[in-house]
Amino acid sequence: MDKIEGLIGRSGFLGSDYKAKAEDIPKTIGIRMQIWKEYPKSKGLVLEEVYIHTNVEHGPKDSQFDVLIENIPAVQINEDKIQILNKYEDEHIDMIHTYAVARLTLTMYQRLLKRKIVWSWNQKGSNIPLKVYPHNNKEAMKHANFNKINRSLNFGWKDHEKRIYSCKSLDVVVHETGHAILDSLKPFWEIKRDFVKPQSFIEQHSIIESFADLSVIFFTLSLFDMVEQILVISKGNLKRDTQLSKLMEYFDYESYRNAYNTLKMNDEIIQSGRGHMMSQVFTGAVYYTLADYFTYKRNARFENDALVLYNVSQFIAKIYLKAIERSPDNGPRISDIAQNMIEVAIQESDFILAYILFKQFEFREIFVKKIS
Ligand SMILES: [Zn+2]
């Protein structure tokens, strides 16, 4: 017993004089917030609660995000009570939802990197949060974007009569937050049209779009209820056209993308298209890797599939982040990221994953070195 107490004390976990008492109730931290979710099994949006473990101030606001809608008062948050005003119910719920989704996306990546992500404009010491505008009513703001100059995420609307805001779509919020996160990791990947040749411009744009789309897949698979439903619908075979593979459906056919694809770099449609189009090649390669690696890792008889799928997805996301960190600070090519993913997997002694990645990139006509 003495030995155990000594160990507990040394770990600093409970302190050396730990004595359990019935009345010792741990302090509850964080806050419950609502987000709009679209479940694969049910139609339409459902308002569902999520747990945010950090402190949130009026706004909602914290050190990294500041949510605002013009002419709408901030949502008041006192302790863990959120005050939604009837008069502004629609706006306030969208403000809370957009904050919570952006916050959870950033938290997911910080957990993977095991460090705080600092926005690119704060990397010399300032501390200016990313402004989030869930309802950007400017006529020109049709879609959604990350605006680095204004340090903001902006969500426009469609349908003149109903004004459907893009922020309501969880994947649009994750996608745009993903842009800001990638910009923090690689500030010079921002595209300067004047200095790059058209081909490398499209490729760089596609790398950026692919990161934002893959963020949606990794984020979806970080929500346990979504993991369960995707497993039910796909019966464990992710190589299907499911809600997980469909990306940015809000934008209809115009910018709609699907990770469930067999596109290759030299396909005519890819070479003639924009970055959004080419991004699907890399996104597809990583998505198929996820599917194959999950098939390899699952052991349904003795392990919970949901837990395995969650772990597989987070592991691939980590490999991807490390590959990005190792890639050139300027003018990255798709093959840089691909090659680095394989090398990071080998470094992690995961030769199966390295092989699956290699086969996928080879199939997609993304140049990678043969594994010896
Ligand atoms: Zn984008």
Question: End-to-end distance of the chain based on CA atoms, in angstroms?
Answer: 52
Which residues make beta-bridge pairs with 33?
A: 50
**Average pLDDT of every residue of the chain:** 89
Counting the structural domains of the chain, the total is 2
Q: What is the DSSP-derived secondary structure letter of residue 349?
A: T
Tokens of 219: 């984020």
* Residue 36 shares a structural domain with residue 180: yes
**Interval between CA 166 and ligand 1 midpoint (Å):** 13
Q: What is the tens place of the pLDDT at every residue in 284-297? A: 999 999 999 999 99
Q: What's the 25 CA to ligand 1 centre distance in angstroms?
A: 45
On whether both 302 and 359 belong to a single domain, the answer is yes
Give residue 39's pLDDT. 84
Distance CA 128, CA 101 (A): 19
Q: Are residues 92 and 141 in the same domain?
A: yes
Rounded to the nearest angstrom, the distance between the alpha carbon of 179 and the centre of ligand 1 is 7
Render pLDDT for 132-182 as a digit per residue (tens, 0 to 9): 999 998 866 678 999 999 999 999 988 777 788 999 999 999 999 999 999
Say if residues 222 and 243 touch (Cβ distance below 8 Å).
Answer: no
Same domain, 175 and 285: no
Token pair for 356: 């699956």
- What is the CA(342)–ligand 1 centre distance, in A? 25
Beta strands in 178-332 (DSSP E): 246-247, 257-258
Domain of residue 55 covers 31-185
d(CA 257, CA 282): 12
Residues 6+ apart with CB under 8 A from 288: 239, 360
192 within some domain? no
Distance in Å, CA 304 to ligand 1 centroid: 34
Q: Is pLDDT of 118 > 60?
A: yes
The verdict on 39 and 180 lying in the same domain is: yes
Q: Ligand 1 center to residue 205 CA distance, Å?
A: 9
Q: What are phi and psi of 135, to 5 degrees?
A: -120, 90
7 located within any domain: no
The answer to whether the beta carbons of residues 207 and 332 sit under 8 Å apart is yes
Query: Are residue 179 and residue 36 in the same domain, yes or no?
Result: yes
**Which residue among 185, 205, 228 closes a domain?**
185
Can you give the pLDDT at residue 159? 78
Predicted pLDDT at 365:
96
The whole-number average pLDDT for the span 225-231 is: 94
Report residue 289 as tokens: 């890797």
Query: For residue 257, how far is its CA from the centre of ligand 1 (angstroms)?
Result: 11
Distance 206 CA to ligand 1 centre (A): 9
Same domain membership, residue 228 and residue 148: no
Question: How high is the pLDDT of residue 306?
Answer: 98
Whether residue 101 is found in the same domain as residue 237:
no
Distance 239 CA to ligand 1 centre (A): 24
**pLDDT value at position 372?**
74
State the distance from the centre of ligand 1 to the C-alpha of 210, rounded, in angstroms.
Answer: 8
Average pLDDT over residues 310-334: 96
**What is the Å distance from ligand 1's center to 330 Cα?**
19
Q: Is residue 193 part of a domain?
A: no
The amino acid occupying position 178 is G
pLDDT, mean of residues 264-268: 91
Q: Is residue 25 part of a domain?
A: no
Residue type, 45: L
**pLDDT on residue 290:** 98
State pLDDT tens for residues 270-280. 877 666 789 99
Tell me, yes or no, whether 180 and 35 share the same domain. yes
Query: Confidence class of residue 23 from pLDDT cuts 50, 70 and 90?
Result: low
**Range of weakest confidence among 31-40, 118-127, 304-313:** 31-40
Higher pLDDT, 370 or 336: 336
Q: How confident is the model at residue 35 (pLDDT cuts 50, 70, 90)?
A: very high
- Same domain (yes/no): 239, 164: no
State the distance from the centre of ligand 1 to the C-alpha of 213, rounded, in angstroms: 8
Residues 86 and 163 in one domain: yes
Q: Say if 164 falls within a structural domain.
A: yes
Question: What distances in angstroms separate CA 102 from CA 12, 125, 175, 223, 356, one per listed residue?
Answer: 33, 22, 9, 14, 31
Task: Tell me if 198 is assigned to some domain.
Answer: no
CA distances from 199 to 163, 223, 241, 290 (A): 37, 37, 30, 28
Distance (angstroms) between ligand 1 centre and the Cα of 269 equals 19
Q: Check pLDDT > 70 for residue 60.
A: yes
Neighbours of 176 (CB within 10 A): 29
Whether 263 is in a domain gets the answer yes
Q: Which CATH number characterizes residue 169's domain?
A: 3.10.170.10
Report the pLDDT value the prediction gives residue 74, as an integer from 0 to 100.
96
Q: What is the pLDDT of residue 119?
A: 98
pTM of the model: 0.92
Distance from Cα 31 to the centre of ligand 1, integer Å: 29
Q: Report the pLDDT value the prediction gives residue 255, as an integer from 0 to 100.
A: 63
Distance 352 CA to ligand 1 centre (A): 31
Weakest mean pLDDT among 105-119, 161-175, 218-232:
161-175
pLDDT tens sequence across 78-92: 877 899 999 999 999
- How many angstroms separate the CA atoms of 212 and 105, rounded? 11
Same domain? For 157 and 266 the reply is no
User: What are the DSSP calls for 190-216, one per residue?
Assistant: S--TTTS-HHHHHHHHHHHHHHHHHHH
In a domain, 23, yes or no: no
CA of 45 to the centre of ligand 1 (A): 22
In percent, the amount of the chain with pLDDT more than 70 equals: 88
- Ligand 1 centre to CA of 75 (Å) is 28
Q: How many Å lie between the centroid of ligand 1 and the Cα of residue 222?
A: 21
Residue 255 Cα to ligand 1 midpoint, Å, equals: 10
